Amino acid sequence: MYKLVTKEVLSDVSKKFEVEAPLVAKKAQPGQFIILRVDEQGERVPLTIADSDPERGTITIIFQEVGLTTKCLGQKEAGDYIADFVGPLGKPMEFPEEPGRVIAVGGGVGIAPVYPKVKGFHKAGMDVTSIIGARCKDLLILEDEMRAVSKELHVCTDDGSYGHHGFVSDILQKYLDDGEPIAEIIAVGPLPMMRAIVNQTRPYGVKTVVSLNPVMVDGTGMCGACRVTVGEETKFTCVDGPVFDGHQVDFDELVARSRMYLDQEKKALENCRC
């Protein structure tokens, strides 16, 4: 059993927990993730390691309540326990090979997986320009944390309730247009957002990496649940990713696979007793 040490409500739908998991905290690196189960009967859910503290032996996870498991998890309180917490899984993030500006783009709860990467760059002495966005101000998360590790931070809301009125892609376009070398763009968020960003950057030939979060079961490359086509090859997100070259990812297939279990998820939510 794993203890939930602290809980923070970031927005109506986003929660943050620190989980006591000293062995995971000892080895966790930016870009990696964990798989948890709330209880013995629960599904396995992958979540990015948003932060880790080897001294305290804790891992920070941030999630949006979008399905049964995340809804049940969101109702837990500090001091409660969950059944399983496995990690760190996946490959740690890599540093850009080319010189130039690094731009990190985070949309919605995708800001959570972007944050440890930007923090990792910041720790390594690299400057990162960050662009974060949400549907409205109340859904925006980790603004202060992102500001602390970014050279510049741009904030956008779809409804104009805070920051730039519009999409993260509007701000990104200005950097693409100004012609200054860009070493790498990191984009994490909902699939439509990541697809839009890679389509936007493709004509400029700027390396654009995305962090994927498909359905996972074992997290060790055995079951094939997390397969994704990258550059016409089948990859397993849990062991080959979760970060991939966005220009090589087959987003049509990924979106179709992400919708495969919508009916079952809906039924499970209707029968939710947590």
Does 216 contact ligand FES by CB under 6 A?
yes
Give per-residue burial for 176-213: e unless 16+ CB within 10 Å, then b. beeeeebbbbbbbbebebbbbbbebbeeeebbbbbbbb
Residue of the chain from 126, 183, 225, 268 that contacts ligand FES (CB under 6 A): 225
Tell me how crowded residue 26 is: count the other CB atoms within 10 A of its CB.
11
Instruction: Find the shortest distance in angstroms from Cβ 219 to ligand FES.
Output: 5
Does 221 contact ligand FES by CB under 6 A?
yes
Residue of the chain from 54, 79, 100, 224 that contacts ligand FES (CB under 6 A): 224
Point out which residues pair with 58 in neighbouring strands: 20, 53
User: If you ran DSSP here, which 8-state letter would residue 190 be given?
Assistant: S
Does 47 contact ligand FES by CB under 6 A?
no
Candidates 14-22, 146-154, 213-221, 245-253 — which segment interacts with ligand FES by CB under 6 A? 213-221
Does 217 contact ligand FES by CB under 6 A?
yes
Candidates 51-59, 126-134, 178-186, 218-226 — which segment interacts with ligand FES by CB under 6 A? 218-226
Residue of the chain from 139, 206, 226, 230 that contacts ligand FES (CB under 6 A): 226
Is there a contact between 102 and 181 (Cβ–Cβ < 8 Å)?
no
In angstroms, the CA 136 to CA 81 distance is 32
Instruction: Give me the numbers of helices (H) and strands (E) for the chain, helices first please.
Output: 9, 17
Candidates 56-64, 71-79, 175-183, 219-227 — which segment interacts with ligand FES by CB under 6 A? 219-227
Does 238 contact ligand FES by CB under 6 A?
yes
Residue of the chain from 84, 138, 152, 218 that contacts ligand FES (CB under 6 A): 218
246 class by beta-carbon count within 10 Å (0-12 exposed, 13-18 middle, 19+ buried): buried
Does 236 contact ligand FES by CB under 6 A?
yes
In angstroms, the CA 93 to CA 200 distance is 23
Does 91 contact ligand FES by CB under 6 A?
no
Give the count of alpha carbons within 13 A of 32, CB side only. Answer: 21
Instruction: Find the shortest distance in angstroms from Cβ 220 to ligand FES.
Output: 7
Residue of the chain from 223, 247, 258, 265 that contacts ligand FES (CB under 6 A): 223
Candidates 145-153, 194-202, 214-222, 242-250 — which segment interacts with ligand FES by CB under 6 A? 214-222
In angstroms, the CA 10 to CA 76 distance is 15
The SS3 of residue 78 is coil
In angstroms, the CA 83 to CA 218 distance is 15
Does 222 contact ligand FES by CB under 6 A?
yes
Does 87 contact ligand FES by CB under 6 A?
no
Interface with ligand FES (CB under 6 A): 216-219, 221-226, 236, 238
